[in-house]
């Protein structure tokens, strides 16, 4: 039994947008403003532009190879099993954490009225035993919707999408109409960190995190109809739509702040007694009907994103099973053509992640550092496939790829670097655990030695170790030996060398593997 091609262009676009709009819009405008002040608008534009460039590379690759769990399977095709596993491990690690984070965001908001859901541990709200019980029920409900019915999944997604986009538009309109201080956007009101604060806002203020959902279209490509339209529309179109909404929200948020809010500076901006900045602003402005609506949306938005992450993360496990990294059972489908064992595994792991977690912003930094490294496969795979199978007709052809791919790879590495040394050091430990799992798969003979891709170590090891070293010596949480400004130049040179090495040490038999994928693994 194979996955069915049933997602239309509209289906996949709405799924991607819904998966992108989660808890980020509820928190990111505050965290971005605290880091960048009025420059948060610039941070959103930079983050959105970088994501669009990266998304364009995936649009060509995924339209050419519309595979379930596209990130991991394309990496395995162009670079071999070693790179494929590392990329899929990083991708899965970041995505499987998303539903628990979104569920925790739901319960954190609900705890304002139902205080028994959380308790304070070291000054942070942590789920209580009652909260954990509700979290498990919500997680189970998201999984049931994902395995029960395709029409049910699409219908429920449409309902959640319509409601939360309407609330976002209403919030923008009402804040701008009720209270708007244009002087908050003056250069004098930028955070004292200046450009460094703007760039930190992209990586650690929730902005890069807010765009992570664009890859839903990549992971669900194996079930898309009319791939030449569906995949580019879902992957790139979702980023453009969300960027417009996010900028509107950030403008409304900054404009609605009064001098009293900014009396202690942007970094001290807070709203006591409320979990979210928009709730605090709406209450301050006397828009109590909007406060109630925002509390409802605080449940709906994260749930919508969590629902779609359950959908796409299951395809990553499905692809890992297809590649031989995991047992064959994780590629099994139920009668509704959903990977039920993969969803079950993610449910168990997700529930374990409800153990006391750090704050939302700290988790976001870790997830961004992980998911951005997986983004690097877009430009690498595109250039490798252009070199190896240039004669194959592309359903979507990216103009100017020789310029855009190095730029996309550079953007990936910059965002990873901006998350800071503390975050990347934790990612290094997660990678070590992944390599242990890969070693077990090799020991059990599940990995084809001919496809292992040992020569990819010539670029992969320098890439990961170099990124860690630059971060350790850099000015974003590191030793500060590489000063701000010079780090841009260093990462540019580093990115160009690594990209050249990745293309040089690509799989030599991509043509045969591509034909094999076309005939046996296309879904």
Strands 124-127, 118-121: parallel, antiparallel or unpaired by DSSP? antiparallel
- Domain residue extents for the chain: 9-354+361-520
Instruction: Confirm if 125 and 136 have CB atoms less than 8 A apart.
Output: no
Tokens of 495: 């990115």
Confidence of residue 515 (pLDDT cuts 50, 70, 90): low
State the average pLDDT over residues 173-194.
74
CA 223 to chain centre: 20
pLDDT bin (cut points 50, 70, 90) of residue 210 is confident
pLDDT of residue 55: 93
Per-residue pLDDT at 215? 86
Q: What is the CA radius of gyration of the chain?
A: 22
* Residue 496 reports pLDDT greater than 60: yes
pLDDT in tens, 475-493: 877 888 888 788 889 999 9
Count of CB atoms situated within 10 Å of the CB of 408? 28
* Amino acid 450: pLDDT: 63
pLDDT at 124: 64
- Checking if the pLDDT of 218 tops 70, the result is yes
CA–CA separation, 452 and 438 (whole Å): 11
CA–CA dist 394, 422 (Å, integer): 41
**Arithmetic mean of pLDDT, 36-65:** 91
Indicate whether 461 pLDDT > 60: yes
Tell me the pLDDT band of 358, cut-offs 50, 70 and 90.
Answer: very low
Instruction: Assess whether pLDDT exceeds 90 at residue 502.
Output: yes
Picking from 165-169, 223-227, 414-418, 441-445, which range would have the lowest pLDDT averaged per residue? 441-445
CATH number assigned to the domain covering 9-354+361-520: 1.20.1740.10
Q: Which residues contact 38 (CB under 8 A, 6 or more apart)?
A: 184, 185, 186, 187, 189, 190, 254
Q: Which of 221-230, 366-375, 397-406 has the highest mean pLDDT?
A: 397-406
**CA dist 351 → 101, 347, 402 (Å):** 11, 6, 43
DSSP three-state, residue 286: coil
Cβ-in-10-Å burial (0-12, 13-18, 19+) of 240 comes to middle
Token pair belonging to 99: 């539903």
**Residue position matching structure tokens 């609330």:** 167
Mean pLDDT of 105-117: 80
Between the CA of residue 148 and those of 82, 141, 156, 351, 521, what are the distances in Å? 35, 10, 12, 20, 25
Q: How many CB atoms lie within 10 A of CB 270?
A: 13
The whole-number average pLDDT for the span 450-463 is 81
When the pLDDT of each residue in the chain is averaged and rounded to a whole number, the result is 83
Q: What's the whole-model pTM score? A: 0.86
Least confident of 243-247, 413-417, 464-468: 413-417
């Amino acid at each position: 039994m194979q996955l069915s091609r049933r997602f239309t262009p509209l289906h996949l676009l709405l799924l991607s947008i819904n998966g992108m709009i989660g808890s980020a819009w509820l928190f990111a405008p505050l965290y971005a403003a605290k880091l960048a002040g009025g420059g948060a608008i610039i941070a959103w534009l930079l983050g959105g532009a970088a994501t669009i460039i990266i998304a364009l590379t995936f649009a060509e690759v995924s339209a050419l190879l519309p595979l379930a769990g596209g990130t991991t399977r394309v990496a395995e095709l162009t670079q071999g099993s070693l790179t494929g596993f590392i990329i899929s491990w990083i991708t899965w690690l970041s995505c499987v954490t998303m539903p628990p984070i979104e569920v925790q965001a739901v319960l954190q908001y609900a705890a304002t009225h139902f205080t028994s859901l959380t308790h304070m541990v070291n000054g942070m709200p942590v789920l209580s035993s009652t909260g954990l019980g509700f979290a498990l029920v919500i997680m189970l409900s998201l999984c049931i919707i994902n395995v029960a019915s395709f029409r049910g999944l699409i219908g429920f997604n449409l309902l959640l999408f319509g409601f939360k986009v309407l609330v976002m538009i209403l919030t923008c309109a009402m804040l701008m109409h009720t209270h708007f201080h244009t002087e908050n956007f003056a250069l004098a009101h930028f955070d004292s960190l200046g450009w460094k604060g703007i760039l930190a806002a992209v990586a650690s203020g929730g902005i890069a995190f807010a765009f992570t959902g664009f890859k839903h279209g990549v992971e669900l490509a194996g079930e898309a109809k009319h791939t030449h339209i569906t995949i580019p529309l879902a992957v790139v179109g979702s980023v453009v739509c969300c960027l417009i909404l996010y900028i509107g929200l950030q403008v409304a948020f900054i404009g609605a702040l009064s001098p009293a809010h900014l009396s202690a500076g942007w970094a001290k901006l807070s709203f006591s007694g409320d979990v979210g900045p928009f709730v605090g602003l709406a209450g301050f402005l006397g828009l109590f009907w909007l406060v109630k609506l925002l509390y409802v949306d605080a449940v709906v938005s994260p749930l919508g994103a969590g629902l779609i992450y359950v959908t796409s993360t299951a395809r990553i496990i499905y692809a890992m099973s297809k590649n031989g990294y995991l047992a064959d059972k994780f590629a099994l489908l139920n009668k509704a053509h959903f990977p039920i064992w993969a969803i079950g595994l993610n449910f168990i792991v997700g529930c374990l992640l409800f153990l006391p977690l750090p704050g939302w912003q700290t988790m976001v930094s870790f997830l961004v550092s992980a998911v951005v490294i997986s983004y690097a496969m877009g430009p690498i795979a595109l250039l490798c496939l252009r070199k190896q199978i240039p004669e194959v007709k592309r359903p979507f052809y990216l103009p100017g790829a020789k310029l855009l791919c190095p730029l996309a790879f550079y953007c990936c590495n910059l965002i990873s670097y901006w998350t800071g040394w503390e975050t990347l050091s934790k990612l290094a430990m997660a990678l070590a655990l992944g390599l242990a799992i890969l070693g077990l798969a090799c020991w059990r003979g599940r990995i084809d030695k001919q496809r292992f891709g040992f020569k990819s170590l010539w670029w992969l090891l320098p890439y990961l170790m170099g990124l860690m070293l630059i971060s350790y010596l850099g000015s974003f949480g590191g030793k500060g030996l590489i000063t701000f400004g010079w780090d841009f130049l260093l990462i540019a040179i580093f990115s160009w060398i690594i990209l050249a090495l990745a293309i040089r040490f690509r799989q030599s038999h991509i043509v045969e593997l591509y034909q094999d994928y076309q005939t046996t693994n296309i879904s």
